[in-house]
Amino acid sequence: MADTYKTDVSCLSAVQLRDALASGELSAREATGHFLAAIESGNKQLGAFVTVTAERALRHAEDADRLHTRLVREHRQEELGLLHGMPVAFKDLTDVAGVPTTHGSAALEHKPAPEDGALAATLKGQGVISLGKTQVPEFGLTAYSENRVAPPSRNPHAMGRSSGGSSGGSAAAVAAGLVPFAPGTDGGGSIRIPAGACGLVGLKPGRGVVPSGASAGDAAKLVVAGPLARTAADAALLMDALAPRDQAPDGGYLASVGRAPEPLRIGVSLDSPWAGIYPFQIEEEAVDALELGTKLLEKAGHSVSEAAIRYDNRYPDAFTTAWTAGVGSARIAPQREALLTPLTRTFRRRAQQRSASKVNEALSFLRQFEHDTVAQYAEWDLILMPTLAQTPRPIGWFTGGGHSGEQWPSEWAGDADEDYKRQCQYAPWSSMVNVCGLPAISIPVHTTAAGLPMGIQLIGRPGSELLLLQLAAVLETR
């Protein structure tokens, strides 16, 4: 084994780690042991993991090494999965066989999952080693990963700040080097928000590109799975494992991510479908990120101009109805309802009070919203805005005072509507992309004076996942 890999596995990108595992320069057990040691050292302070399955991971790594040795000896190494021996973690909304799925809720019984969910099964089929389950908000409902199950997921760049949500634990783990990359899921910003907060590349693929990321009971078809990674190439590698061949570009994502795209027409828009009900201020740091991103895109040969987008003011009510419908039907024993967080309890009660016709009306409106918005976006190749309107928020900021030790105004502590309003003001450009089924990416471009990462979001046309990753690759070499 090469000395480079012996000394510091954490210096390797995910692509380099994959290559070292494939060549035999590094064993799956060595890689797994490295990241388990990093989790043991860093997770207590970070709160990225809810469950760590160390013994199971080491056992699976040993199995992976034996299979690698046998297939290489038999000259059949092409039968190995694309990510054979790669350590990853799954957010605690994804079933992994034999491991409890908490869904971030103290109101549920945390029994081991009887089998892998579709996302875990897909990546295990490509050879990954699961190290455990990462922190999420209750039922994945919020833009921050704090719940009543485990300590909050903190931001590696500033421990008093949130890592975002709902893939917050996964983003924190990647940013802190506890895993090389991680799959996330995104139903309203849940990949892009934590990517923006933690300084990662976070790709939300278009609807249907990653079938294993679909969520049961998601009538609006909002939820998709995609990569959280430190580089565009690492994200492309994970996309190659996630996307079926008939959904991937010729040659795959990684093989093409380094090619710079032809000049593009990019429209900048700060319009948001939430602005009418929740007016928001865009912080100076978000503007700085947008201005820097614009300059970098123009330097790369692209045309960037203002795009005025009109959104139907009925959107907030319709999206909220669709977004919270699932929590209304969740199986929760009556005696355990009190264990729900205030936000979940409030939105569950409202969802249960809505008629089926009201939900169907909302779904019908969202399909029309999709049609109208995609038609407006189509005037440009891409739409550009900041990923987030504000810097990463302090722990406890959304809920009215909690884990950070800071106290927020007691008059709204636990107020679900204030909590939800703050989330929509923090991430006003996220959920409409899910409704439209379009691909979008968060790309880190700026670091504030306080050391906080800030990113830009690019929204593409259907099928533009590779293009978005190529632009991320161009910007990271600036």
Greater model confidence, 478 or 153: 153
Return the bridge partners of 266, or none: 304, 382
Amino acid at 108: L
Identify the active-site residue in 163, 170, 190, 430. 190
Q: What pLDDT, on the 0 to 100 scale, is given for residue 4?
A: 45
Average confidence (pLDDT) over 294-313: 98
Catalytic residue selected from 27, 91, 221, 464: 91
Measure the CA–CA gap between 276 and 316, rounded to whole angstroms: 9
Positive or negative: CA dihedral 213, 200, 37, 24:
positive
- The yes-or-no answer on residue 190 being catalytic is yes
In 169-276, at which residue ranges do the beta strands (DSSP E only) sit? 182-186, 201-204, 224-229, 265-268
The closest of 128, 143, 144 to 181, measured between CA atoms, is 128
Q: Which residue has the tokens 């309890």?
A: 345
Residues contacting residue 181 through CB under 8 Å, at least 6 positions apart:
14, 88, 174, 227, 228, 229, 230, 234, 235, 237, 238
Task: Check if 91 is active-site.
Answer: yes
Q: Which residues pair with 442 in a beta bridge?
A: 202, 457
From the centroid of its chain, how far is CA 217? Answer: 20
For tokens 């595992």, the residue is: 21
Residue 7 pLDDT more than 80? no
Exactly one of 162, 166, 269, 430 is catalytic; which is it? 166
Q: Give me the amino acid identity at 18.
A: R
- State the pLDDT confidence band at 401, using cuts at 50, 70 and 90: low
In CATH, which of 3.90.1300.10, 3.30.930.10, 3.20.20.450, 3.40.50.1820 is domain 3-315+334-476? 3.90.1300.10
Integer Cα distance of 292 and 111 in angstroms:
47
pLDDT surpasses 80 at 210 = yes
Contacts of 363 by beta carbon, 8 Å cutoff, 6+ apart: 219, 220, 318, 322
- Domain coordinates in residue numbering, the chain: 3-315+334-476
Please, which pLDDT band fits residue 224 given cuts at 50, 70 and 90? very high
CB contact at 8 A, 169 and 135: yes
Q: Do the Cβ atoms of 227 and 239 come closer than 8 Å? A: yes
Per-residue pLDDT, averaged over 312-320, amounts to 98
pLDDT at 413: 60
Comparing CA positions, the residue from 294, 337, 274, 119 lying closest to residue 212 is 119
Summarised one tens digit per residue, pLDDT across range 133-151 is 999 999 999 999 999 999 9
Q: Which residues of 236-259 are buried (b: 16+ CB within 10 A; e: fewer)?
A: bbbbbbbbeeebbbeebbbebbee
* Cα gap 34→298, rounded to integer Å: 41
Q: pLDDT for 248-299, tens place per residue?
A: 999 999 999 999 999 999 999 999 999 999 999 999 999 999 999 999 999 9
pLDDT mean over 444-448: 98
Residue-averaged pLDDT of the chain: 95
3 state SS of 33: helix
Reported as a single tens digit per residue, the pLDDT across 84-122 is 999 999 999 999 999 999 999 999 999 999 999 999 999
Tens of pLDDT, residues 160-186: 999 999 999 999 999 999 999 999 999
Cα–Cα distances in angstroms (integers) from residue 27 to residues 54, 62, 73, 103, 252, in the given order: 16, 9, 15, 32, 25
Please check the confidence at residue 402 and state whether its pLDDT lies above 80: no
Query: Is residue 407 over pLDDT 50?
Result: no
Question: How many helices and strands in the chain, by DSSP H and E?
Answer: 16, 13
> What type of residue sits at position 65?
D
Determine how many CB atoms are found less than 10 A away from the CB of residue 25: 14
Average pLDDT over residues 208-216: 90
Return the pLDDT at 92: 98
CB 5 within 8 A of CB 25: yes
Average the pLDDT over 308-337 and give the result: 96
| Residue 404 annotated as catalytic | no
pLDDT in tens, 42-72: 999 999 999 999 999 999 999 999 999 999 9
